[in-house]
Structure 1
């Protein structure tokens, strides 16, 4: 039985911001579930990406959507910030839709 490896070259990636100390760059950690073929159990596999944040609008803890750039912006930056999905600290009540203080 052979196990086929899938190529992971996603155009859209969702992850959590873990650092914003570099100018106009966000450090984003992406977690995927990977199946161990022997144990038949899923494990978390983490990968860190650097994304261009032109407006410097994201903060540590935000969940963001990244878009792959057609070519590298620098040695490490290959993605750009497309959207902030969930802002850290902006808690909304699901029943009323109002912001919780």
Structure 2
């Protein structure tokens, strides 16, 4: 399957990756492709650009994107519809419970009550929401550009 397969689908679920385009975001979409010799499916990654003028999604977010009725440009064929899961805040869609590395947070808390909580354990209920480290350690909101030459000033937003 090529990029054409992703372009023909009306609604896709993808993960946002860094992008240098203005008013657009780049998404990595995982598809399964059948190997006819082995009769097994293997994961293939495709990249799609979507129109995102409000900058709704950040790098790492899982986003629902929808195909545009008419292409905006040669690359931009979709539009961002909804941020399903922000990075680091995974919710099980069936139960609505928060998940940490394959386990429910409720289950982790119940085990901690029985065996005792570790001193250095992360406290999810006290953690601030995503975005509180903007301009300190998180630079995903900043405009980036390609660095074509070396200069004396050090710019953290150059790629």
Identify the TM-score tier after normalising by the shorter chain.
Answer: 0.7 to 0.9
Return the structure number with greater relative CO, CA threshold 8 A, min gap 6. Answer: 1
Higher helix share: 2
- 1:11 aligns with 10
Give the secondary-structure state (helix, strand or coil) at the position aligned to 1:83.
strand
TM-score (norm 1): 0.81
Higher Rg: 2
Higher strand share: 1
Unaligned runs of at least 5 residues, structure 2: 91-97, 107-122, 128-159
Q: Which runs of at least 4 in structure 1 moved beyond 4 Å after TM superposition?
A: 93-96
Cα distance in 2 for residues equivalent to 1:42 and 1:75: 30
- 2:35 aligns with 36
Cα distance in 1 for residues equivalent to 2:23 and 2:12: 18
TM-score (norm 2): 0.53
Unaligned runs of at least 5 residues, structure 1: 1-6
- 1:64 aligns with 63
CA RMSD of aligned residues (A): 2.0
State the number of aligned residues. 93
